[in-house]
Chain A
Amino acid sequence: MTATDTTIDVAGLTKRYGRQIAVRDVDLTLRAGECVAMVGHNGAGKSSLIKLMLGLTTPTEGSLRVLGADPSSAAAAEVRRRVGFLPENVAFHPAMTGRECLDFYARLKGLARAGNDALLERVGLEPAAAKRRVGTYSKGMRQRLGLAQALLGDPRVLFLDEPTTGLDPALRQGFYDIVRERRDGGATVLLCSHALTELEGQADRVVVMNRGRKVAEGSLSTLRTLARLPVRIRLTVAEEAYGALAAAAGGLTRLPGGVVELVCANDDKVDVVRRVTCTGVALTDIDIVQPSLDDMYAHFLRQDAAE
Chain B
Amino acid sequence: MHSMLIIAGKELRESLRNRWVVATTLLMAALALTLAFLGAAPTGTVGVGRLEVTIVSLSSLTIFLLPLIALLLSFDAVVGEIDRGTMTLLLSYPVARWQVLLGKFLGHATVIAIATTVGYGAAGLALRLSGTEIDAEGWRALGGMIGSSVLLGAAFTALGYLASTAVRDRGTAAGLAVAIWLLFVLLYDMGLLGLLVADGGRTVTAEVVNWLLLANPADTYRLFNLTGFQNVSLYAGTAGLAAQVQVPPAALLAVLAAWVAGPLALASFLFSRRQI
Given contacts A92-B86, A96-B13, contact A108 B92 (CB under 8 A): no
Give the CA-CA distance A91 to B90 in the complex, in Å. 10
Some 18 contacts from A to B, beta carbons below 8 A apart, are: A17-B275, A51-B88, A54-B91, A56-B275, A80-B94, A85-B92, A87-B85, A87-B88, A91-B85, A91-B86, A92-B86, A93-B10, A95-B14, A96-B17, A104-B10, A108-B95, A109-B93, A149-B89
- Distance from B116 Cβ to chain A, minimum over Cβ atoms (Å): 23
Q: In the complex, are the beta carbons of A77 and B85 less than 8 A apart?
A: no
Interface: B187 (CB within 8 A): no
- Distance from B87 Cβ to chain A, minimum over Cβ atoms (Å): 9
User: Could you say which residues of chain A place their CB within 8 Å of the CB of B91?
Assistant: 54-56
Interface: A57 (CB within 8 A): yes
Please name the residue on chain A nearest to B90 by beta carbon.
A108
Q: In the complex, are the beta carbons of A77 and B95 less than 8 A apart?
A: yes
User: Could you say which residues of chain B place their CB within 8 Å of the CB of A80?
Assistant: 92-94
Given contacts A56-B276, A96-B13, contact A110 B89 (CB under 8 A): no
User: How many chain A residues touch the partner (CB < 8 A)?
Assistant: 31
- Residue from the list A77, A90, A91, A93 in contact with B94, Cβ < 8 A: A77
Q: In the complex, are the beta carbons of B93 and A90 less than 8 A apart?
A: no
Q: In the complex, are the beta carbons of A93 and B275 less than 8 A apart?
A: no
Q: In the complex, are the beta carbons of B86 and A108 less than 8 A apart?
A: no
Contact with A along B5-16 (1 / 0, CB 8 A): 011001001100
Given contacts A80-B94, A87-B89, contact A104 B6 (CB under 8 A): yes
User: Could you say which residues of chain B place their CB within 8 Å of the CB of A100?
Assistant: 13
Known contacts A54-B91, A95-B18, A108-B7; 4 additional CB pairs below 8 A are A90-B85, A91-B84, A91-B89, A109-B93
Q: In the complex, are the beta carbons of B93 and A108 less than 8 A apart?
A: yes
User: Could you say which residues of chain A place their CB within 8 Å of the CB of B3?
Assistant: 108
Please name the residue on chain B nearest to A56 by beta carbon.
B276
Give the CA-CA distance A10 to B10 in the complex, in Å. 36
- Tell me the residues in window 209-227 of chain A with beta carbons closer than 8 Å to chain B beta carbons: none
Q: In the complex, are the beta carbons of B85 and A78 less than 8 A apart?
A: no
- Distance from A149 Cβ to chain B, minimum over Cβ atoms (Å): 7
- Tell me the residues in window 199-220 of chain B with beta carbons closer than 8 Å to chain A beta carbons: none
User: Could you say which residues of chain B place their CB within 8 Å of the CB of A183?
Assistant: none
Give the CA-CA distance A149 to B276 in the complex, in Å. 20
User: Could you say which residues of chain B place their CB within 8 Å of the CB of A89?
Assistant: 85
Interface: B179 (CB within 8 A): no
Q: In the complex, are the beta carbons of B88 and A56 less than 8 A apart?
A: yes
Contact with A along B85-109 (1 / 0, CB 8 A): 1101111111110000000000000
Interface: A107 (CB within 8 A): yes
